[in-house]
Amino acid sequence: MADNKIIAEWFRQYSNDILNFLIYYTGRIDVEDMVQEVFIRALRRINTFHELSNPKTWLFSIARNIAIDEMRKQKKEKDKQQQLLHFQGQSYSNSPEDIYRLNETNKEIYQTIQTLKQNYRDVLILKGIKELSVKETAEILDWSENKVKVTYNRALKALAKKIGGLVDE
């Protein structure tokens, strides 16, 4: 029963952070099920949690893995749909859903982040958007702190270059 109380307390403390992280990470606003899955997995694996770790970073690691799994599943499903429609001779158009109720600048920045390679997206979302420390980001991504710093700087440069390209167009 103590494990349930711990997870309930973590849910109270971190569920909004996890929700926001998953929205940024997946590009979807319907991530409540994934948030629940994070805490279900945490409860199942509480015995693997090391007291020296920060629960928030541990939960973010779980959330990141769930998001990656979900994106893989969606990609497979999308590929199947495209193949089916192609087989039927129909054209397939991806109509972008209105993901956020943000201003146009934020949407462009978000969309540009999504075009970056995975490592850059990960570090920008965790360190830049979620404002986690270098140490926390390193724990979540299972990287060294130096790799976080270097990758973050490279990601910022890549993002600035792409945004600059959008402005020039």
48 shares a domain with 127: no
Q: Of 61, 82, 98, at which residue does a domain stop?
A: 98
Report helix, strand or coil for 48: helix
- In the chain, the number of structural domains is 2
Q: Of 78, 98, 118, at which residue does a domain stop?
A: 98
Q: What is the pLDDT of residues 79-136, one digit of tens each?
A: 655 554 444 443 334 334 444 444 566 667 778 888 899 999 999 989 988 889 999 9
Q: Of 66, 98, 130, at which residue does a domain stop?
A: 98
117 shares a domain with 167: yes
Which residues make Cβ contacts (< 8 Å) with residue 20, sequence separation at least 6? Answer: 130
For the entire predicted model, the pTM comes to 0.60
- Region of 33 (left: φ > 0; alpha: ψ -120 to 50; beta: rest) is alpha
86 shares a domain with 37: yes
CA 63 to chain centre: 8
Here the CATH number for the domain that contains residue 55 is: 1.10.1740.10
Task: Give phi and psi for 27, each to the nearest 5.
Answer: 80, 20
Give the span between the Cα atoms of 32 and 38, in whole angstroms.
Answer: 10
148 shares a domain with 121: yes
Q: What is the pLDDT of residues 25-39, one digit of tens each?
A: 888 888 999 999 999
89 shares a domain with 145: no
